[in-house]
Amino acid sequence: MAQDVLVFCEQRDGVFRTIALENLAAGRSISAETGGQCVALSAGTGGGADEGLLASHGAEKVLTVEDEKLARYSPELLLQVLDAAVKEVDPAVVIFGATAMGKDLAPRLTAKLGVSIAPDCTGLDWDDGKLVAARPIYAGKATIKFRMNSEPAIVSVRPKAFAAGEPAEGASAETSSLSVSLDTATVKYDLKEVLKSGGATVDLTEADIIVSGGRGMKAAENFKLVEDLADALGGVVGASRAVVDADWRPHSEQVGQTGKVVSPTLYVACGISGAIQHVAGMRSSKTIVAINKDAEAPIFNLADYGIVGDTLEVLPAMTEKIRVMRAGE
């Protein structure tokens, strides 16, 4: 019976993303139950990523594939890498992040292997030789559990569902190169250029603090108040769907069912009513602060702390108070 857990460690520009370290924590917890190893898969261009970081976060073995053909994201080439890694490791479980990349790759590997998948999971457990995966349904109002009968069980894990934890000093892992002859004939398109937008360098799904604005901000220019509070708190800016649809903010900042699902330590909802579409994307936040002039707004039913007042007046006062407090630290 397969026992190892294979974790696809997503990287960007040669740096492992936080979700990779979180998934190693998930993988290690499962491999401790299966009696196997937590195996990390690193695929990219040569000389970039720090495989030692993977060992310090729980990887007991690291498989690397370094090829210039992987300099740009290519699902067809990465699928070849993943297929080779599965044949090499013969894992009981394969873990992806529920990110844009993970949501693209995990179903492809699932179809390739003819097995089943549990997407966007928030919990994993090992019971009687099978993986049990939990994921939210009905916009987060309930949780469903799956017993994965096919092998390997493929899952994608929601960012922040597992804590990456502090790196273990002196940890080491067996590192080996996985031999894969990448067939570029399978690539269906040629990526010429990636245009990066300005703004925050931290992805919403990886942020610990998010300050989001909604229609209650009244105009695009008023989002400067949201930006100021996010800056004072050391967080990033999010937005509701209504705001994005109105072209006040880019889609990359949209939180919700059709945007990004986030689980920060602190979520501040500014002028957001709490429509179910938005709540589905942020209800798992550790602490929620809501600011709205409507005392009956649904967002207050979810919030840990609520401020009833004009958002355009509350935000400057809150930002100033936080800056004063931080200056005294």
Reply yes or no on whether the pLDDT at 241 is more than 80: yes
Q: What is the pLDDT of residue 72?
A: 86
d(CA 294, CA 184): 57
Neighbours of 121 (CB within 10 A): 25
Dist CA 259 CA 311 (whole Å): 23
Task: Name the nearest CA neighbour of 64 among 80, 41, 39.
Answer: 41
Q: Which residue has the tokens 């709540």?
A: 279
Residue 45: predicted pLDDT: 81
Domain boundaries, the chain: 5-186, 204-327
Coil, helix or strand at residue 86 = helix
Give the single-character DSSP code of 166: P
What's the mean pLDDT in 147-168?
A: 92
Which residues, 6+ apart, have CB-to-CB distance to 77 below 8 Å?
69, 70, 182, 184, 186, 187
Average pLDDT over residues 150-159: 95
Burial class for 83, CB neighbours closer than 10 Å (0-12, 13-18, 19+): middle
- Check residue 71 and give its pLDDT: 86
Instruction: Render pLDDT for 68-120 as a digit per residue (tens, 0 to 9).
Output: 999 888 999 999 999 999 999 999 999 999 999 999 999 999 999 999 999 99
For the segment 215-228, the average pLDDT, to the nearest whole number, is: 97
Residue 47 pLDDT exceeds 80: no
Mean model confidence pLDDT for the chain:
92
For 169-197, how does the pLDDT look when each residue is reduced to its tens digit (9 = 90+)? 888 889 999 999 999 999 988 777 777 76
Which tokens go with 157?
């894990």
Higher-confidence residue of 70 and 288: namely: 288
Between the CA of residue 112 and those of 79, 210, 310, what are the distances in Å? Answer: 9, 37, 53
Cβ partners under 8 Å of residue 1, min gap 6: 92, 129
Predicted confidence at residue 23, as pLDDT, reads 97
Q: What pLDDT shows up at residue 48?
A: 52
Q: 204-327, what's its fold? A: Rossmann fold (3.40.50)
What's the token pair of residue 92? 């009981």
Asked, colleague to colleague, whether 5-186 and 204-327 share their fold, the answer is yes
- How far is the C-alpha of 113 from the C-alpha of 326, rounded, in Å? 53
pLDDT attached to residue 1? 61
Is 3.30.70.2190 the CATH classification of the domain at 5-186?
Answer: no
The segment with the largest mean pLDDT, out of 5-14, 200-209, 223-232, is 223-232
Per-residue CA distances from 168 to 20, 27, 54 (Å): 16, 16, 10
Looking at residue 201, what is its pLDDT? Answer: 62
Q: Indicate the pLDDT class of residue 51, thresholds 50, 70 and 90.
A: confident
Q: Is residue 239's pLDDT more than 90?
A: yes
**What are the tokens at 68?**
């210039």
As a whole number, mean pLDDT of residues 215-223 equals 97
For the chain, the straight-line distance linking the first and the last C-alpha, in angstroms and rounded, comes to 55
